[in-house]
Amino acid sequence: MLTDSKKLIIFEHYKLGDTAAGLFWLRSFFHDYDYDIVFVSGEKNIELAKLVSSNVRLETIKMWKRGYSLQTLFLGMLGVFKMLALLRKYPQHSVIDIRPDIFSKIATKLIFRRVYQYPLKKDNIGSCYKTMLQDFYGDHGIDFAYTISQNNQLNFNKKKIIFCPFAAFKDRSLTNQQIVNFIESIPKDIEIVIPMEQKKFHNIERSIKNSLTIDSQKRLTILFADLQDLIGLLTSGTVVFCVDSAPAHIASLFGAKTFEILGPFSFEKVCPQSPSVIITKQKKIQCAPCNQNECKNHIPSDCFDINTFSNQAKNFLS
């Protein structure tokens, strides 16, 4: 056990997919009623955390952004003041800072007495959470996380699938042609739903549907989905097919049957850990997997083994 204190603040201020991956481990930590836990994160992350555990106080806070612009520096200073406010509110809490950046490294150590920081590993965001759980509970904590996941697996039917081909970065998403090829490979009696953010909706819908056969157009629904809608779709008993993205980690978190295809920047270690997830690895290209924001060697979509992914889907659904 790291600390004698039974009061802990967990700072977590990252993208929704990162939070979903972290909650896979943190929910077993939240099951320990000996701890008085405050989970501090962004609005959508808190919304997701509410569905995972009621044994934790949740605080929404807009933290600093990465980088060194004037806006970033301002938000960094603002984050420090918000941390001071939290210190006044929870004066006896120790602090766990997940994947700290330069601002939080300085601020937490200046403001709080007990700070446990879990920096980003070379290739594995989820390892920050997993390491924290292991530090507190050893291998038992890891085993408990897998047990919760095993017990939470959802039943599913094969009459409708959720298809999530888009990620936060364009190069981590499937191309329109790959999307069309995948849809056409799915048995004709199965309904397909693609949820997406509103800002991406109209142009992509027109482009994809115009490339499909008439039968495939009729069974495809592309719709705008906020977080609540997305969680509802992913946990509705359908099978999920997706790239490495927030929907993949959310589906895994709630035990949905999930097929994930890895792209150029995905590492197998950061894939969802749930036993309900089946992974399609990258094509055997010399530079894949990499960890660059932009592909510098070839067309990023070349890394996706879309044929194997489509065949897995077809065989499973037939």
Average pLDDT, integer, range 140-144: 90
> Lowest-pLDDT range, 26-30, 72-76, 90-94?
72-76
Shortest CA distance to 173 belongs to which of 208, 223, 206? 208
Report the pLDDT value the prediction gives residue 295, as an integer from 0 to 100: 62
Average pLDDT over the chain reads: 81
Average pLDDT, integer, range 97-121: 69
Average pLDDT, integer, range 151-159: 90
Report the pLDDT value the prediction gives residue 315, as an integer from 0 to 100: 93
Report the pLDDT value the prediction gives residue 123, as an integer from 0 to 100: 52
Report the pLDDT value the prediction gives residue 75, as an integer from 0 to 100: 65
The packing angle between helices 126-137 and 16-30, to 10°, is: 10
Higher pLDDT, residue 42 or 260: 260
Per-residue confidence band for 266, with pLDDT thresholds at 50, 70 and 90 = low
Is the domain defined by 7-151 classed in CATH 3.40.50.2000? yes
Report the pLDDT value the prediction gives residue 209, as an integer from 0 to 100: 85
What is the 3 state secondary structure string of 233-268? HHCCCCEEEEECCHHHHHHHHCCCCEEEECCCCCCH
Per-residue confidence band for 210, with pLDDT thresholds at 50, 70 and 90 = confident
> Lowest-pLDDT range, 103-112, 147-156, 254-263?
103-112
Per-residue confidence band for 147, with pLDDT thresholds at 50, 70 and 90 = very high
CATH class of the structural domain 160-317: alpha beta
C-alpha 57/C-alpha 55 separation (Å) is: 7
Report the pLDDT value the prediction gives residue 1, as an integer from 0 to 100: 44
Q: With contact defined as beta carbons under 8 Å apart, do 253 and 271 qualify?
A: no
Per-residue confidence band for 199, with pLDDT thresholds at 50, 70 and 90 = low
Percent of the chain whose pLDDT exceeds 70: 78
CATH 3.40.50.2000 boundaries in the chain: 7-151, 160-317
Q: What are the contacts of 134-138 at 24+ separation with CB within 8 A?
A: 135/2, 136/1, 136/2, 136/29, 137/28, 137/29
Per-residue confidence band for 317, with pLDDT thresholds at 50, 70 and 90 = very high
Report the pLDDT value the prediction gives residue 292, as an integer from 0 to 100: 59
234-251 pLDDT, tens digit each: 998 899 999 988 999 999
Residue 309: pLDDT over 90 = yes
Residue 79: pLDDT over 60 = yes
Residue 4: pLDDT over 70 = no
Higher pLDDT, residue 82 or 275: 275
Q: With contact defined as beta carbons under 8 Å apart, do 247 and 260 qualify?
A: no
Beta-strand (E) ranges in the chain? Answer: 7-11, 36-41, 57-60, 94-98, 115-118, 160-164, 191-196, 220-224, 239-243, 258-261, 277-280
